[in-house]
Amino acid sequence: MTMAAAAVARGAGARAAAALRGGCGTASRGRPCAGRARPLCTAPGTAPDMKGYLWERYREAKRSTDELVPSIMSNLLNPDAIFSNNEMSLSDIEIYGFDYDYTLVFYSKHLHTLIFNAARDLLINEHRYPAEIRKYEYDPNFAIRGLHYDVQRAVLMKIDAFHYIQLGTVYRGLSVVPDEEVIEMYEGSHVPLEQMSDFYGKSSHGNTMKQFMDIFSLPEMTLLSCVNEYFLKNNIDYEPVHLYKDVKDSIRDVHIKGIMYRAIEADIEKYICYAEQTRAVLAKLADHGKKMFLITNSPSSFVDKGMRYIVGKDWRDLFDVVIVQAEKPNFFNDKRRPFRKMNEKGVLLWDKIHKLQKGQIYKQGNLYEFLKLTGWRGSRVLYFGDHIYSDLADLTLKHGWRTGAIIPELRSELRIMNTEQYIQTVAWLQTLTGLLEQMQVHRDAESQLVLQEWKKERKEMREMTKSFFNAQFGSLFRTDQNPTYFLRRLSRFADIYMASLSCLLNYDVSHTFYPRRTPLQHELPAWSERPPTFGAPLLQEAQAK
């Protein structure tokens, strides 16, 4: 389990269940256990009281779990830690690369409202949508990143790492779709590979699903859902494919037409969060002789004003190479586009580029030319970005760079997972699941009624666990029992991940990140599920420092 606090709770559940089995933790992992369950003591000739027996086991499990919660609470994880999917030593990193948006710079909650309103108005003014949709406002608590959208059926949903839909998280408009309807719609809850989004999360080449991986996509998901809701509530017949394309084009135009850029530049203090310690991170790397570069899709003047605000007017002195309007992910794959130098006024020059010079700004280009001009190849390069596909996937798969994902949601999720209410709930949920697995051997009618009550409680607790994070879709990283599809891609394409670049300030430039040995289903969990004490510092240790 990637999220360490929940892993601790899972370990607690396993230990509580093991205690009920007489100390053996192997029964549920395919090996016989002599201490599986306490024998029933009944008088000769009388039938065993299965109901009483099962509820006694339930109460024992509850007591064992409650006793373990204080020890879990003493091992909370630091939300400012860096987490590792793949072993990596910073002592091997000579060159650091960065995306701009949501990597070097973070935006306030006002930006998503701006994008939503601007795209909504474009739908009305340019795509002739009903003016009544202007009554819908952006709800920052509706969607989460990583969701899939079925373009043809106009439903938004959360899918796990195995392509299964998490029932209860399928929304048509702003209303949840009943589980029975979802199962009928998809002939179960599994989405076949050919219907899933393509490599970059897009709905193309016959793929009917679009995955929203960008933080900027949160307003897009909400706008799609609001317009769907309007059409449904007013019994208006519409083509879902056209709606998806129109919303996508409107969101794109907010960026391409400069609406977002001009608004941020006009009121930079309103939209940019200053307190992410970006300058401190860059200065630390520069002091240790590290080379640095910036590759962003954003335009030059926009980046310059933002970096002047968060770093200072001398920000270019910190970077060896600056590339704007790179058009990632095409930048990493298209070998044909040459670099163009920009002068101080933003005018594109026609000179042939023989060297990427410090202090200059370049537009477009491609990674193959970048590698040729800089020689920065392989695992001595570490690149940070927030978009799992556009920023990281090609770099790790095709070019062997090390990658770091910036996941702003991580900090808030860890703070929730550090609460006693969450730990208590998850620990008992895991224990109850183990109890169900152990006691299912009792097939008599009386026992089955008790087990049905436990299953009902388990279902309610799952819904409660989901609502801790987001009432509609739950955690970014987990469905009921599996990692999300988002986490699957994060684990594949990012060597390390963290809430913000400021987390680097907690580590020495020679620090080695070691991934936890996550137990496989056929391995014992006892030793490997202890919370990590290196690589990802415990909250108490960080506070003590």
Could you give the residue numbers annotated as active site? Answer: 99, 101
Greatest CA span in the chain, whole angstroms? 99
What is the rounded CA–CA span in Å between residue 1 and residue 5? 9
Q: Encoding tokens for residue 405?
A: 């994902």
Q: Does the annotation flag 386 for ligand binding?
A: yes
| Residue 91: DSSP 8-state | G
Residue ranges with strand state E in 326-451 = 339-342, 361-364, 381-385, 402-406
Q: Encoding tokens for residue 320?
A: 């060896």
Q: Does the annotation flag 237 for ligand binding?
A: no
| Residue 353: DSSP 8-state | P
Return the amino acid letter for 293. F
Phi-psi category of residue 201: left, alpha or beta, with phi > 0 → left and psi -120 to 50 → alpha = left
Return the amino acid letter for 105. V
What is the rounded CA–CA span in Å between residue 238 and residue 232? 9
Q: Does the annotation flag 101 for ligand binding?
A: yes
What is the rounded CA–CA span in Å between residue 261 and residue 114? 11
Residue ranges with strand state E in 126-212 = 148-150, 155-157, 171-172, 175-176, 209-211
Query: Which residues have C-beta within 8 Å of that of residue 435, sequence separation ≥ 6?
Result: 17, 20, 57, 58, 61, 454
What is the rounded CA–CA span in Å between residue 186 and residue 175? 18
Question: Whose structure tokens read 């929940």?
Answer: 6
Residue (of 181, 182, 184, 123) closest to 157 by Cα position = 182
Contact between 37 and 43 under an 8 Å Cβ cutoff? The reply is: no
What is the rounded CA–CA span in Å between residue 378 and residue 93? 10
Please give the radius of gyration of the chain, using alpha carbons only, rounded to the nearest integer.
Answer: 26
Q: What is the DSSP string of 268-298?
A: HHHHEE-TT-HHHHHHHHHHTT-EEEEE-SS
- Overall size of the chain counted in residues: 545
168-183 exposure pattern, b = at least 16 Cβ within 10 A, e = fewer: bbbbbbbeebeeeebe
456-470 exposure pattern, b = at least 16 Cβ within 10 A, e = fewer: eebeebbeebbebbb
Burial zone of 62 (CB within 10 Å; 0-12 exposed, 13-18 middle, 19+ buried): middle
Contact between 437 and 521 under an 8 Å Cβ cutoff? The reply is: no
What is the rounded CA–CA span in Å between residue 103 and residue 250? 24
Annotated binding site for Mg(2+): 99, 386
Annotated binding site for GMP: 101
Annotated binding site: 99, 101, 386
